[in-house]
Amino acid sequence: MRDFPSCFGENGVQVADSSSSSSTTKAAQNVVTCVYQCKLHGRSCLITITWTKSLMGQGLSIGIDDLANQCLCKVDIKPWLFSKRKGSKNLEVDSSKIEIYWDLTNAKFGSGPEPMEGFYLAVVFNQEIVLLLGDLKKEAYKKVDTTDPIHSNAIFIAKREHIFGKKLYGTKAKFCDKGQMHDVTIECDTVGLNDPCLVIRIDSKTVMQIKRLKWKFRGNYTIVVDGLPVEVLWDVHNWLYGNAMGNAVFMFQTCLSAEKLWSSHSIFDPSLLTWSYSQQFRDSQSQGLGFSLILYAWKNE
């Protein structure tokens, strides 16, 4: 197994900054970003959905970019307490009509800002549903004036999430667009141990165990999920040698050439709460890359 320095040179991948502050951590806790690839008028595009949470309530941002890194449109739905839980937006792009419908009136949320059930979010291009999220699909079809249960052509290709814990960190993920949902658990106790160990489990089954972590704080390892090879890359340097507010970074990529994405360190900078995908995923699609899950793991002191 190769470590990051040998793969990427002496500087490796800078995934954390000593200037990270508690305000960055607090803001990061309330942001989840998902990226979907779809077709608009036969042209491949990326739809970025960002869910946020603040004292004012839930927030939502929808951005549509082409693979040339050009923003076609962006809609920001500001946090709400008593309004904007249901609504729509109409836009025009290149003489074409884009409509966005959402209803989170009865949405149920977990610990994060992303709704779990009881909602829908639909992106419609020239009266065709290109992205439909949530479990209230019938309600969405009625809203966009269609009874034909057309499945959207969008493919879920990436997710970035911040997770928190003391030695256990967990989330849920699908590693392919039509795959099943899995429980992903990361376990690492670095307090007072001379030889900390990193363990990753999928559905309670141990799929990776890294001992002598002080020597292997960066690395990559291939596991198999749903019959697919998934490359796991990790950097826990800040957990072991950084400041108290430092975070570790984990990436799960359903392609063995995943490490190519790490050559651009900007997407791993925890001080950046926005995430620019277009260039990375234009390149990754040409390389045949699949789904990417990036986790920032922050320690609760």
pLDDT in tens, 212-226: 998 999 999 999 998
- Dihedral over Cα of 268, 270, 276, 277: its sign: positive
pLDDT band for position 146 (cuts 50, 70, 90): low
Residue in this structure with the two tokens 């923003």, named with its chain if needed: 71
Cα separation, 38 vs 131, whole angstroms: 8
pLDDT band for position 154 (cuts 50, 70, 90): confident
Strands 128-134 and 120-125: antiparallel
pLDDT for 126 equals 82
188 neighbors 299 (Cβ within 8 angstroms): no
Per the document, the length of the chain is 301
Cα separation, 114 vs 104, whole angstroms: 11
Position 129: which residue type?
I
pLDDT for 91 equals 86
Strands 205-210 and 57-66: unpaired
Instruction: Please classify residue 89 by burial: count the beta carbons closer than 10 Å to its beta carbon, then call 0-12 exposed, 13-18 middle and 19+ buried.
Output: middle
pLDDT band for position 236 (cuts 50, 70, 90): very high
**Average pLDDT rounded to a whole number, residues 71-100:** 82
pLDDT band for position 148 (cuts 50, 70, 90): low
Enumerate the domain spans of the chain. 4-27+159-299, 34-156
pLDDT for 255 equals 67
Q: What's the pLDDT tens digit per position in 240-262?
A: 887 666 789 999 998 644 444 44
Cα separation, 267 vs 274, whole angstroms: 9
Residue in this structure with the two tokens 């950097």, named with its chain if needed: 235
295 neighbors 301 (Cβ within 8 angstroms): no
Find how far residue 221's CA is from the centre of its chain: 20
Half-sphere exposure of 111 (CA within 13 A, CB side): 10
- For 228, the token pair is 């697919």
Q: What's the pLDDT tens digit per position in 251-292?
A: 999 864 444 444 444 444 433 333 444 444 445 544 455 789
Half-sphere exposure of 214 (CA within 13 A, CB side): 8
Distances (CA, A) of 151 to 5, 90, 99: 44, 21, 17
**Average pLDDT rounded to a whole number, residues 46-67:** 88
Cα separation, 245 vs 259, whole angstroms: 26
**Average pLDDT rounded to a whole number, residues 122-137:** 90
Cα separation, 140 vs 101, whole angstroms: 8
**Average pLDDT rounded to a whole number, residues 3-24:** 35
